[in-house]
């Protein structure tokens, strides 16, 4: 009886250990690719393409100023395990790239997506990203066309590392391309309802330069200076004069960076202050359908169109129905 009891105990113990060490939640036994990403829009696009065939883990917490972000030391562990590191590039994440280069495994690629898809001749330099600083505006993902190009780069990188799932990644890319194209078409349609002369953006953060160039909008200014510090009194006075001269109906702040200065500009000029634009902080919570690149840009575009006097009918009709479930890790 004692021997039988011992045997039964041993079986139970073995099964328990097996459940702990080789269960589906055990990252150490997960044979899928591990992909490290930086800002949440890139994390979302990568997850849309990877689906359930790769693990996607973000580095930059949502709601963080990605331009000044310094990765914590523990990020080095993720970077040392990653099979692929996806960054925006264009000088957005230099500290993270340095950390990755010093900690990555042999053979792991660091892919600067924006640097790949944007020819140097197309770099945009402006008041927030002056050419003498050597850092072009990096916010390509706010333009649906560039978001599709990002997705294509991610598809190709995953397919190279994991060729047996290349057809799956291609299918997910096609679904993303269709969604992003429909979003771009909705913006192009709805912006026609904006009164003539109103397609002008004054934002807290200068994140829409490439979108504006593609869709015929004008970015007239941004509150956040090139140093990403608080604007000077002369900066504020210039913005007030600009808003009055351009007769801008709405100025757009950021949910991530509440600004009493933009409130002051609104009061001084009579322009409405809309404080809810999201640069790279996805709506909702991780796992929600709207917590995605598509949810982010649909929200921003409809907010801008409505704020400038238009009716976002086509944007409101865009359904957010993910092709795959999003299991990416989004630091909060």
pLDDT band at 233 (very low <50, low <70, confident <90, very high): confident
Least confident range from 35-44, 153-162, 200-209, 217-226: namely 217-226
* CATH number for 304: 3.40.50.1980
Whether residue 199 sits in one domain with residue 150: no
Tell me what percent of the residues of the chain surpass a pLDDT of 90: 75
User: Count of domains in the chain?
Assistant: 2
Find the distance separating the first CA and the last CA of the chain, reported in whole Å: 54
Same domain, 195 and 304: yes
Residue 17 has pLDDT above 50, yes or no: no
CA pair distance 259, 279, nearest whole angstrom:
15
Q: Is residue 322 part of a domain?
A: no
Mean pLDDT, residues 242-253 taken together: 94
pLDDT at 226: 61
In this prediction, residue 28 has a pLDDT band, given cuts at 50, 70 and 90, of: low
CA 157, 159, 160, 162 dihedral sign is positive
Whether residue 157 is found in the same domain as residue 197: no
Residue at 6 is within a domain? no
CB 310 within 8 A of CB 194: yes
Both 106 and 74 in a single domain?
yes
User: Which tokens in the block code for residue 237?
Assistant: 């006075």
* Statement to judge: residues 61 and 148 lie in one domain: yes
Question: What's the confidence (pLDDT) of residue 211?
Answer: 98
> Can you give the residue range of the structural domain that contains 79?
30-165
Adjacent-strand bridge partners of 56: 35
Residue 10 lies in a domain: no
Q: Are 210 and 257 within one domain?
A: yes
| Tens digits of residue pLDDT in 115-161 | 999 999 999 999 889 899 999 999 999 999 999 999 999 999 999 99
Instruction: Answer yes or no: do 121 and 196 share one domain.
Output: no
């Amino acid at each position: 009886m004692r021997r039988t009891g011992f045997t039964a105990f041993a079986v139970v113990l073995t099964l328990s250990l097996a459940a702990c060490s080789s269960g589906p939640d055990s990252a150490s036994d997960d044979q899928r690719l591990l992909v490290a990403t930086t800002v949440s829009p890139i994390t979302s696009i990568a997850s849309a393409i990877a689906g359930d065939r790769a693990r996607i883990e973000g580095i930059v917490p949502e709601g963080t100023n990605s331009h000044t972000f310094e990765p914590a030391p523990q990020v080095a562990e993720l970077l040392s395990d990653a099979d692929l590191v996806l960054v925006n590039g264009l000088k957005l994440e230099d500290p993270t790239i340095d950390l990755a280069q010093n900690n990555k495994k042999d053979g792991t690629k660091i892919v600067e997506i924006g640097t790949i898809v944007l020819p140097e001749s197309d770099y945009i330099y402006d008041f927030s990203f002056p050419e003498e600083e050597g850092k072009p505006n990096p916010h390509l993902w706010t333009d649906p066309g560039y978001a599709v190009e990002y997705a294509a780069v991610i598809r190709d990188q995953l397919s190279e590392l994991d060729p047996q799932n290349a057809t799956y990644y291609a299918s997910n890319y096609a679904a993303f391309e269709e969604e992003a194209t429909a979003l771009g078409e909705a913006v192009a349609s709805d912006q026609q309802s904006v009164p003539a002369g109103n397609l002008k953006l004054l934002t807290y953060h200068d994140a829409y330069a490439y979108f504006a160039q593609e869709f015929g909008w004008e970015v007239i200014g941004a509150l956040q200076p090139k140093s990403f510090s608080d604007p000077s009194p002369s900066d504020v006075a210039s913005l007030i004069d600009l808003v009055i001269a351009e007769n801008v109906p709405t100025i757009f702040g950021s949910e991530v960076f509440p600004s009493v200065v933009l409130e002051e500009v609104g009061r001084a000029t009579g322009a409405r202050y809309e404080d809810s634009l999201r640069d790279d902080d996805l709506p909702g919570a991780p796992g929600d359908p709207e917590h995605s690149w598509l949810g982010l840009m649909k929200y921003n575009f409809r907010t801008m169109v409505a704020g400038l006097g238009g009716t976002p009918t086509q944007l409101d009709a865009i359904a957010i129905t993910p092709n795959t479930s999003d299991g990416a890790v989004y630091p909060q």
